[in-house]
Amino acid sequence: MDLKFLDADPTDAERASVDGLLGAPSSAWEGAQLRTAADLRMVRGGRSMREQRHMLLPALARLQSDIGWVSEGGLNYVCRRLWVPPAEAYGVASFYALLSTEERPSTVIHACDDVGCRDFGSADLIAGLEAEIGPEGVANGDRMWLTSPCLGQCDRAPAAFLQNAGRSDSVVTNASTQSTLKAIASHPVPPADPATPQVSGDRGSLRVLSRVGLVNPVSLEDYLAHGGYATLESVLSDDPSLVVDEVKRSNLRGRGGAAFPTGIKWEGVAAQPDGPKYLVCNADESEPGTFKDRVVMESDPYALLEAMTYAAFAIGAHEAYIYVRGEYPVATARLATAITQAKEANLLGRNVLGTGFHLDIGLRRGQGAYICGEETALFNSIEGYRGEPRQKPPFPTTHGLFGRPTVINNVETLVNVVDIVTNGGEAFASRGTPDSTGTRLFCLSGHVGQPGVYEHEFGVTVRQVIDAAGGAIGDVQAVLLGGAAGSFITEEHFDVPLTFEDTRSAGISLGSGVVMIFNETVNLTDIGRRIAQFFRDESCGQCVPCRVGTVRVEEALARHLNNGHEAVDASLIEEIDRAMKDASICGLGHTAATAVRSLLDQGLIGGPA
């Protein structure tokens, strides 16, 4: 394997942490402290060792979570256990924001200063943390604080995420300095209250959120009592192609942003020759302003498992993964509980309900990388590599996870499948418009009466969505539609029907369903610069247009902010945007300047002061 390890040794605690995940090492060649006579006469290795690479990120995350950082000795021990070169493991460890290769105190507070919190309390929180703890990034005793990109809690801004070494991580919402410091002191850490979804109008019209807020999310029994898994046995006893047909009939399109027809994707993977196939649920919800998948996972986790069972059955997969955002500890815990209970009830595992179908669902926790929401970057992340996107083609339907045919869908897309399978594709398609069937989840935040997740049929307008959430607060300057990768819209677009086709022809994007309202009190130049900073931070750096372009966009806005009498060099940003759209490997680069350009193009920012 040409492996050259470091000389650094793990501490006993680090060794115990890694062994807690991987089990005890089987020989000195896997890091055991003593060489036995047998070790010097035979070693099993090769493929069986190399195929453990996918445990690299979980092992590093385990060290981070137990010890508080990934030391050289800890990293080296993980490498010995998994036969991964330390240089590569370091490349992985240093890729993720939640993993630290430098020593950190036992509590690290990540205080959101992103667009959803920035004008909604985070300045006070950060000033308070600075006063109590000291400057950003400097340890003070057992704690330090850092600013963070969006934590997906925009309906309850401001938010902080706490990494607690040796204890579970936690989230503080509607955070004040005092409530945040109090959360550090609590033993054990209290779980954050899951968000209650906001429902406007008739609850009976809900499809995706129908059980949210009603069902007990840690009780399989309660899910069953609410009609969960009602059709599972009959579906699994029939032909898998019937599920694909039903999903095609529904004309369900992906909710992750690309709006690809789900049934076509499934059909493509189902048609691949036999051999391992995978189903992956993209729950790495990191688009600033987005929190709908979190609400579904926290409040109705079994629905996701049920949907994934149908999807896996339809495509012939027996292994599935949920890749859940690292900053979502409650959702992670709820899904873990749900998987355990579903296994015990034989709704997962070998021979599900005696139908002969097998399915295991693995839960993987992201470690703070927006780019891992890109499907091929997510595969690399699961496989134990840096979360860098791959060139496409080949597409996941033929070369996905572990190079095998893979269906990857996000949480919202999958949960729709429960409704489709239970009530039929035709009923599903009767809602919305012919090209945008069904309902859509919207994440309302900012200057709005009642922030939260709302479910509306496709075709609703921005004005209606805002009104349903209690109306805007103050005079609306602009609405960020679709997230940081989306665009700012004004009055002119408030009556565009929100469908895939209408938004496309209006030159705007539904994205991940973000509707973030900014009133006259907000400095949009500052918001634009924060978005530019976000993409500069989150660019994986693999391809030059994005790595360089995101820096240049932020610089152009920073110059304007620092030196307000000069106009923003809009033509420079336009040129960079074109280069990133043309030449970036993935969607991050393609959309990194879209929101900033929408501000400039509409004259919302950029003129001389």
Partner 1 sequence: MWGSNARNAHPIFFHHILKGIHNGAKLYVVDPRRSETAEWADLWLGLDVGTDIPLASAIGRVIIEKGLANQAFIDHSTENFEAYRRSVDEWTLEKAEAVTGVPAVAIEELAVAYASAGSAQLCWTLGITEHHNATDNVLALINLSLLTGHVGRYGSGLVPVRGQNNVQGGGDMGALPNKLPGFQDVADDSLRGKFEAEWGYPVPAENGWHLTQMFEAMEHGDLKALYVIGENPAQSEADVGRARSLLESLDFMVVQDLFMTATAELADVVFPAAADWCESEGTVTSSERRVQRVRRALDPPGSAKTDIEIISLLAGALGHGWGTPTAEEVWDECRRVSPMHAGMSYRRLEELGGIQWPCYDEDHPGELFLHSRLWEEPVGGPLAPFTPVEHSPPVDLLDADFPLRMTTGRRLDGYNTGVQSGGFDSPIRIGASIDLSPEDAADLGVSDGETVRVASRRGGIEAPVRVDDGLRPGLVFMAIHNPDDADVNQLTIEEWDAKSGTAEFKATAVSISRLG
User: Interface with partner 1 by CB under 8 A: which residues?
Assistant: 1-3, 28-29, 35, 38, 40-48
| Encoded tokens for 100 | 């630290």
DSSP state letters, 498-511: -SHHHHHHHT---T
If the CB atoms of residues 24 and 40 are measured against partner 1, the closer one turns out to be 40
If the CB atoms of residues 81 and 255 are measured against partner 1, the closer one turns out to be 81
If the CB atoms of residues 134 and 276 are measured against partner 1, the closer one turns out to be 276
- Minimum Å gap between C-beta 84 and partner 1 is 13
| Encoded tokens for 54 | 């996918």
If the CB atoms of residues 27 and 176 are measured against partner 1, the closer one turns out to be 27
If the CB atoms of residues 7 and 102 are measured against partner 1, the closer one turns out to be 7
CA distances 549 to 535, 537, 544, 572, Å, are: 10, 12, 8, 10
E strands, 168-265, are 170-172
- Minimum Å gap between C-beta 27 and partner 1 is 11
- Minimum Å gap between C-beta 37 and partner 1 is 8
DSSP state letters, 472-493: BSS-EEEEEESSTTSEEE-GGG
What phi-psi label fits residue 510: left (phi over 0), alpha (psi between -120 and 50 degrees) or beta? alpha
Give the C-alpha separation, 551 to 556, whole Å.
9
If the CB atoms of residues 43 and 218 are measured against partner 1, the closer one turns out to be 43
- Minimum Å gap between C-beta 498 and partner 1 is 48
- Minimum Å gap between C-beta 405 and partner 1 is 17
Burial readout 342-368 (b: 16 or more C-beta within 10 A, e: otherwise): bbeeebbeeebbebebebebebbbbbb
- Minimum Å gap between C-beta 39 and partner 1 is 9
If the CB atoms of residues 53 and 334 are measured against partner 1, the closer one turns out to be 53
* Long-range contacts at 49-54 (CB < 8 A, ≥ 24 apart): 49/1, 49/82, 49/83, 50/1, 50/83, 52/81, 52/82, 52/83, 53/82, 53/84, 53/383, 53/384, 53/385, 54/382, 54/383, 54/384, 54/402
Nearest Cα neighbor of 516 from 472, 474, 470, 461 is 472
If the CB atoms of residues 39 and 72 are measured against partner 1, the closer one turns out to be 39
Give the C-alpha separation, 536 to 548, whole Å.
8
Q: Which residues contact 45 (CB under 8 A, 6 or more apart)?
A: 1, 29, 83
Helix or strand (DSSP H, E) at 339: helix 329-344
- Minimum Å gap between C-beta 394 and partner 1 is 17
If the CB atoms of residues 49 and 540 are measured against partner 1, the closer one turns out to be 49
- Minimum Å gap between C-beta 85 and partner 1 is 12
If the CB atoms of residues 40 and 242 are measured against partner 1, the closer one turns out to be 40
- Minimum Å gap between C-beta 76 and partner 1 is 14
Which residues, listed in sequence order, are joined to residue 146 by a DSSP beta bridge?
A: 110
